[in-house]
């Protein structure tokens, strides 16, 4: 882990690191917020919220725009923000569109060429990155996961596919049923191939019926979100949760859009949701 930058923030530290990822076969950058309670000789290892960002984002969007650090510092909660795709591998067509390739890893493990050797963001965010940061930083090993849009989809599938690994899960405007929307169909076809039966392992609505752990889902969605009708499908997720008795708190917020203004407005609710599950509140 190479430290790229550090900023004091609410008596904690925001740090950016670079490391060589064996999973993705490239160098990756990520951000960490460490609360003041985890720093210094008397510091106590902190539980961590893994935040997964959306299309076109990097590790920096959430840290700079969400306004999460003040409450996280008070709660004693660390935050880890990975990037959203491999970087620097320069595959053919990787940079041609905003919703596939660079900045659009979709938190799956690609099986199609030329993506398969590098686009394994699921293994990266579930396995490699947590192992790295929990070994090297003052983190307790207690985890929660959240995210926005593509990252909301990522948070949901990470929790549903790994019973016992996370204490809680939440999402802002997640791509809740990617098999049924243009963003998801494009990504899944490119990364996973034409066989849609292989897509089901990466779609929250298809994972709910057989979930072995039923963590309550906190999902916030704005009614003025420009992608609500065409890409996000929160009602489909709510319907399958109701059918299979999986608790979901789907909150529709009148007038809010898809931006970080929306996330900043309700991030404290999500931090408190995770803090309760992690024993911090």
| Cα three-residue angle 137-135-116, rounded to 5 degrees | 110
Query: Token match 């990466």: residue?
Result: 202
Active-site residue, from 83, 168, 225, 270: 225
> Do residues 19 and 133 touch, judged by C-beta distance below 8 A?
no
> Do residues 156 and 171 touch, judged by C-beta distance below 8 A?
yes
Tell me whether residue 149 is one of the annotated catalytic residues. yes
Q: What is the pLDDT of residue 45?
A: 96
* Separation CA 148–CA 166 (nearest Å): 17
Q: What is the pLDDT of residue 6?
A: 97
Quick: pLDDT tens for 74-87.
999 999 999 999 99
Tell me whether residue 85 is one of the annotated catalytic residues. no
Q: What is the pLDDT of residue 42?
A: 87
Active-site residue, from 144, 149, 168, 170: 149
Quick: pLDDT tens for 108-123.
999 999 999 999 999 9
Q: What structural domains does the chain harbor?
A: 2-278 (3.40.50.1820)
Active-site residue, from 258, 270, 273, 274: 258
Query: Token match 């909660």: residue?
Result: 77
Q: What is the pLDDT of residue 66?
A: 97
Q: What is the pLDDT of residue 89?
A: 94
Tell me whether residue 257 is one of the annotated catalytic residues. no
What percent of the chain is helix, strand and coil (3-state, nearest 5)?
35, 25, 40
Instruction: Provide the pairing of β-strand 12-21 with 169-172.
Output: unpaired
* Closest by Cα among 125, 62, 127, 45 to 271: 62
Q: What is the pLDDT of residue 35?
A: 98
Q: What is the pLDDT of residue 174?
A: 98
Counting as low any pLDDT under 70, the low residues of the chain are none
DSSP secondary structure code for residue 160 in this structure: H
CB atoms within 10 A of CB 142: 18
Quick: pLDDT tens for 47-63.
999 999 999 999 999 99
Please provide the DSSP assignment of 124-143 as one string: IIIIIHHHHHHHHSSEEEEE
DSSP secondary structure code for residue 112 in this structure: S
**CB-side neighbour CA atoms (13 Å) of 208:** 22
């Amino acid at each position: 882990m190479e430290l790229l930058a550090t900023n004091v923030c609410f008596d904690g530290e925001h740090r950016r690191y670079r490391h060589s990822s064996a999973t993705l076969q490239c160098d990756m950058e990520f951000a960490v917020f460490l609360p003041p309670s985890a720093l210094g000789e008397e510091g106590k290892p902190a539980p961590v919220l893994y935040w997964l960002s959306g299309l076109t984002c990097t590790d920096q969007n959430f840290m700079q725009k969400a306004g999460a650090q003040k409450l996280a510092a008070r709660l004693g909660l660390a935050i880890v923000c990975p990037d959203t795709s491999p970087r620097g591998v320069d595959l053919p067509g990787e940079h041609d569109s905003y919703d596939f390739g660079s900045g659009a890893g979709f938190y799956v493990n690609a099986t199609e060429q030329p993506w398969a050797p590098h686009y394994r963001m699921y293994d990266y965010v579930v396995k490699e990155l947590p192992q790295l940061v929990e070994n090297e930083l003052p983190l307790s090993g207690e985890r929660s996961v959240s995210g926005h849009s593509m990252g909301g989809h990522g948070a949901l599938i990470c929790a549903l596919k790994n019973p016992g690994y996370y204490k809680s899960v939440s999402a802002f405007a997640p791509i809740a049923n990617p098999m049924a929307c243009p963003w998801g169909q494009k990504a899944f076809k490119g990364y996973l191939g034409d066989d849609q039966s292989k897509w089901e392992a990466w779609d929250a609505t298809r994972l709910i019926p057989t979930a072995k752990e039923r963590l309550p889902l906190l999902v916030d969605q704005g009614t003025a979100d420009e992608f609500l009708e065409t890409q996000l499908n929160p009602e489909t997720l709510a319907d399958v949760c109701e059918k299979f008795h999986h608790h979901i708190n789907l909150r529709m917020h009148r007038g809010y859009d898809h931006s970080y203004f929306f996330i900043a407005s309700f991030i404290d609710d999500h931090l408190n949701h995770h803090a309760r599950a992690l024993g911090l509140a």
